[in-house]
Amino acid sequence: MNRGVYITGTDTGVGKTVVAASLLAALNALGVRALGMKPVASGCAITPRGLRNSDAQLLIAHSAGAPEYALVNPYAFADPIAPHLAAADAGIEIEIGRIGAAFDALSTMSQFTVVEGVGGWMAPLGPVLMQSALAQVLRVPVILVVGLRLGCLNHALLSARAIQADGCELLGWVGNCIDADMLRVDDNLATLRARLGSPCLGVLPYSERADASELATHLDAACDWLSIHAPGPD
């Protein structure tokens, strides 16, 4: 197994990027040289340097050093649509080998690589390729970001079941308060702790303008767990 972790979510828009960036900030603050990666991103801006994704750029901002954009985000698509549709429109096939090569390159520059997935766990990347293949090929365990809003229990339990059914290790989960008006938040968290079967690695509070450096303090449990349980290189 590699020194890294794959961040997935119960859906799109649940805060995977915020959690990934906060985890990078927390690890680097502890002296662990950590880099972020967003292998596939749709919804990118056209710039003089090529397509750029704001999520990938946020990961770079909280990474150690200044990793090359093409390594952090090997597949960038302009339209904010499902990645398999964006790839088909661009006449491109997302290739696992290209992503693996970028991951390996980043791994030579860091002690730990935080890889952010796209959408929810079952988001397809091609006619056959599924997101689970990325975690499998990169040989990293998974952290599930649970967007805390009505319906999160069903989404979290189904996602956890799918991750494990795909033969991937669910290292733990992070709750992210994305609905300021959600009722019974503590009771929902208690249900998740009782039923998910993997540890809670942190809960991020609701914030209008999430700051990864400030939220990093809420992921101490994640850093402790990763330092103890995340596998080292073969």
| 170, 174, 175, 178: CA torsion to nearest 10 | -110
Q: In whole angstroms, what is the distance from residue 59 CA to residue 67 CA?
A: 10
Query: Are the C-beta atoms of residues 13 and 210 closer than 8 Å to each other?
Result: no
**Whether 38 is catalytic:** yes
H or E, element range at 20: helix 16-29
Q: In whole angstroms, what is the distance from residue 41 CA to residue 77 CA?
A: 6
Residue 218 CB contacts under 8 Å (≥ 6 apart), including other chains: 22, 202, 203, 204, 205
Query: Are the C-beta atoms of residues 137 and 104 closer than 8 Å to each other?
Result: no
Which of 21, 54, 9, 52 minimizes the C-alpha distance to 210? 21
Q: How is residue 36 written in tokens?
A: 């972020």
Q: In whole angstroms, what is the distance from residue 24 CA to residue 61 CA?
A: 10
DSSP label at residue 53: -
The single residue listed with the structure tokens 């809003």 is: 149
Separation of first and last alpha carbons in the chain:
6
Catalytic annotation, pick one of 16, 38, 62, 149: 38
Catalytic residues: 38
